[in-house]
Amino acid sequence: MNDQLSQQDWLDQGLKILAGKGFTALKAEPMAKVMGVSRGSFYWHFADVAAFHAELLKRWREIAAEQIITGVEASVGDEPAIAVLLRRTLSIRLTLERAVRSWAASSPLARQAVQAIDKRRLGYIEGLLAAQGLPAAPAQARAQVLYWAFLGYALSDRQLPPEQQQNVINELIRIALHEP
């Protein structure tokens, strides 16, 4: 790499480091070394490490919520959107999700980002359930249950065998779409 790195290059590297080494590794000098540039390249794009952290959390939200939602909306066909969402989010490794939530335990900025994404995701899930004809109260309750299931999956280090994982996803879809 060279000193012509973009802000996006730094954010992508930051997300990799966050997922692999945790938030304590998000420092200009070690990141610059890994990327083969001077830390001046970092400071060209970010006023300081705090500004980098803020941008990194914005990028995480884009990847972990908005891109997922856009993908679900684009791929809905015969299958209900809630089923598409559950299949996608419960079939991928979520190391970045764990890392950001760990960071949120000690950082008000990260905690605020997590709270914002939780609200966005819950609202989206509730909307999908309402679109399936569920009244507001059951849609809200089921959205919360489904989101808690997602968080349990995200924070678990235990991977299920593919068949068992598929059975869990199918059961969550059944619960989500069962008549009130």
Which residues are CB-neighbours of 107 under 8 A, at least 6 positions away? 23, 53
Q: What's the confidence (pLDDT) of residue 78? A: 85
Q: pLDDT at position 2, please?
A: 45
In a domain? residue 51: no
Question: How far apart are the C-alpha atoms of 69 and 121, rounded to whole Å?
Answer: 9
Q: What is the pLDDT of residue 180?
A: 62
**Residues 31 and 88 grouped into a single domain:** no
Instruction: Look over the chain and give the mean of its residue pLDDT values, rounded to a whole number.
Output: 93
- Give me the pLDDT at residue 1, please: 44
| Judgement on whether residues 86 and 136 belong to the same structural domain of the protein | yes
Does residue 91 sit in the same domain as residue 146? yes
Identify the CATH number of the domain in which residue 17 sits. Answer: 1.10.10
Please count the helices (runs of H) and the strands (runs of E) in the chain. Answer: 10, 0
Low-confidence spans in the chain with pLDDT less than 50: 1-3
N residues, the chain: 180
Domain span including residue 22: 1-46
For CA atoms 176, 80, 91, 161, give the dihedral sign. Answer: positive
> Are 15 and 103 in the same domain?
no
**100, 113 Cβ separation under 8 angstroms:** yes
Give pLDDT, residue 178.
84
Give the integer Cα–Cα distance in Å for 19 and 12: 11
